[in-house]
Amino acid sequence: MGEKRLPKHVAIILDGNRCWAKKRGLGTSKGHKAGARKLMENVKDCLPLCFLHRKLGKTRVNGLMFMFEEYLRSERHVFRREKLKISFIGNRTKIPQSLLGLIRETEEATKSYEGKHLIIAIDYSGKFDILQACKSLAKKAKNGLIQVEDIDEGMMDKELMTNCSEFPNPDLLIRTSGEQRISNFFLWQSAYSELYFTNVLWPDFGNAEYLDAFTWYQQR
Amino acid sequence: MGGGIRQLLEQVHRLSRRCLFRVLSMGPLPTHLAFIMDGNRRYAKKRGLEDGSGHKAGFSALMSMLQYCYELGIKYVTVYAFSIDNFRRKPEEVQSLMDLMLEKIKSLLDKESIVHEYGIRVYFIGNLGLLNDQVRAAAEEVMKATAKNSRVVLLVCVAYNSTDEIVQAVKRSCVEKADRDVERIQLVDIEENMQMSVAPEPDILIRSSGETRLSNFLLWQTGNSQLFSPDALWPEIGLRHLVWAILNFQRSHSYLEKKKKQL
């Protein structure tokens, strides 16, 4: 591939699990399982940094939460072996207690790992991220820690949920399954990201597809 | 004689456009279209012209595109005319861009301009304090002169970038809620303080010249917009690109409506 200009931070909108299942006459939970499996494969094989996004449909929340719990438990050894730091970003208020506990455990267990960082976005929205950053800054201003006039882009960067990362802004944002929109994923953070849209469904997105995306990125 | 033929051809074009637009109008149409007008300098280089001509050709392309949009019945059009990042270009280029902008902004006040033809209300969105006094004064004059127009709207983003717009909105929200519980700041508070709140969110964002980056344009507002990147450089953009974007919008619009009903 060549070391010339590989993205340091890749963000991915994992779209297409349900479509993939429908095409094969399977139930949607099989689609999500295939998607999760593909996620674990990709994490093992490549990226130094990877953002993932899971949009939550109202009717399918419980099944997805259960699946997350299952995978976090079963893939613990992978995180250890790959020395993968795991962080979660999103609105934690809607996540069930059992999953929340597991998330805290996983973050704690992997926090000292460096080099590879996987950030998983659950119930995340770009606008929500900016709002919570705004509230945090408003609180600091109220407590006299900062002046409102001094608020700038740098201060916002530090308050956004991506402040858990050394490289908060993705160089490359990939969305699978053909939709050509950001769907309120990273708004602030993708100001200068190269946007790559592909018709391939997420469970089919493997090494060859990554190669295509990175080759495309190198040509920008 | 030549002038007569030209007029006739223009009439024919207008008529065929009207037919085409009537067909397109049978499907859902976007309310708001946004454009990143990229590729003027590359266009000038490609044609071996001097730098400024690319931007002049870009302006003509913009006028045509606005005409098509408003003929089709699209109410809001937003264009990225000059980014805060562009101030970092060579001073001579920045100056010549400012001069061109001043000339074109003033021309919007002419009786024969597109503003009068379509009853356009014009907004200049951005950190206008960064512009020189003349350009800023001209922009403010156009906004004042068109304030009563209500048929269609043109938003020109100049000395703009989205993170700056968001920061200003955040600052205003902090000041507004300073005496009250800051926990009660909501999305709507930030939204109300955005300069772009005078328009709904864009349905489609088109960036010419094949680049697929937002380049800090309308980040807050394009969360759900469909994104298109035709390869054509901005001065080469034409009716076919607009029609293509709208057909794709109509195709995914019916899919989205179905999805919404399922939820």
B170 chain-A contacts, CB cut-off 8 A:
130, 133-134, 137, 151, 156
CATH number, span B29-160+202-262 = 3.40.1180.10
Consecutive H or E run containing B99: helix B91-107
Rg (CA), chain A: 18
- pLDDT given at position A99: 87
What distance in Å separates residue B171's CA from the closest CA in chain A?
6
C-alpha to C-alpha distance for A166 and A9, rounded to whole angstroms: 10
CB contact under 8 A, A192 and B167: no
Partners of A172 in beta bridges: A10, A194
Question: pLDDT 10s per residue in chain B (263 long)?
Answer: 667 898 899 899 989 999 999 999 999 999 999 999 999 999 999 999 887 889 999 999 999 999 999 999 999 999 999 999 999 999 998 999 999 999 999 999 988 889 989 999 999 999 999 999 999 999 999 999 999 999 999 999 999 999 999 999 999 999 888 777 777 889 999 999 999 999 999 999 999 999 999 999 999 999 999 999 999 999 999 999 999 999 999 988 876 676 666 55
Write the pLDDT tens digit of every residue in A70-121. Answer: 878 888 888 888 888 888 888 888 888 888 899 999 999 999 988 788 888 8
Q: For residue A50, is pLDDT > 80?
A: no
List residues of B whose CB lies inside 8 A of any A CB. 161-164, 166-167, 170-171, 173-175, 177-178, 182-183, 185-187, 190, 211-216, 219-220, 222-228, 252, 263
Give the global pTM. 0.91
Range A187-215 average pLDDT: 92
Six-digit token pair at A195? 């946007």
Place of tokens 């100001």: A191
In this complex, the residue of A156, A183, A197 whose CB is nearest that of residue B170 is A156
Give the residue among A182, A178, A184 at the shortest CA–CA distance from A125: A184
B85 chain-A contacts, CB cut-off 8 A:
none
Residue of chain B nearest A178, judged by CA positions? B252
ipTM of the complex: 0.89
Dump strand ranges (E) for chain B. Answer: 32-36, 76-83, 120-125, 152-160, 204-207, 226-228
C-alpha to C-alpha distance for A191 and B88, rounded to whole angstroms: 17
| A37 close to A75: Cβ distance less than 8 angstroms | no
Is A184 at the interface with chain B, CB within 8 A? yes
Phi and psi based region of residue A2 (left: phi greater than 0; alpha: psi -120 to 50; beta: remaining): left
In a 3-state reduction of DSSP, which class is residue A53? strand
Six-digit token pair at B87? 């101030």
In this complex, the residue of A59, A138, A188 whose CB is nearest that of residue B219 is A188
C-alpha to C-alpha distance for B79 and B57, rounded to whole angstroms: 15
Report the percentage of chain A scoring pLDDT > 70.
Answer: 88
Interface probe for A, chosen from B38, B167, B205 (most Cβ of A below 10 Å), is: B167
Task: Tell me how long chain A is.
Answer: 220
In this complex, the residue of A125, A180, A191 whose CB is nearest that of residue B226 is A180
C-alpha to C-alpha distance for A98 and A67, rounded to whole angstroms: 12
Six-digit token pair at B261? 């009903």
C-alpha to C-alpha distance for B63 and B54, rounded to whole angstroms: 14
The conformation of residue A60, written as its DSSP 8-state character, comes to G
- What sign does the CA torsion over A182, B55, B65, B156 have? positive
Average pLDDT of chain A is 83
Write the pLDDT tens digit of every residue in A123-149. Answer: 889 999 999 999 999 999 989 999 999
| Domain spans of chain B, in order of start | 29-160+202-262, 162-198
- pLDDT given at position A91: 85
Interface probe for B, chosen from A180, A190, A193 (most Cβ of B below 10 Å), is: A180
- pLDDT given at position A58: 41
C-alpha to C-alpha distance for A63 and A40, rounded to whole angstroms: 19
Instruction: Please state, as a whole number, how many other Cβ atoms lie within 10 Å of the Cβ of residue A23.
Output: 12
Q: For residue A209, is pLDDT > 80?
A: yes
| B214 close to A190: Cβ distance less than 8 angstroms | yes
Range A192-208 average pLDDT: 91
A213 chain-B contacts, CB cut-off 8 A:
none
CB contact under 8 A, B224 and A184: yes
Is A194 at the interface with chain B, CB within 8 A? yes
Rg (CA), chain B: 20
B228 chain-A contacts, CB cut-off 8 A:
180
- pLDDT given at position A2: 55
Question: Half-sphere exposure of residue A169, counting CA atoms within 13 Å on the CB side?
Answer: 18
CA angle centred on A95, ends A129 and B184, rounded to 5°: 45
Place of tokens 């024919």: B12
Six-digit token pair at A109? 């267990």
Is A19 at the interface with chain B, CB within 8 A? no
| B145 close to B171: Cβ distance less than 8 angstroms | no
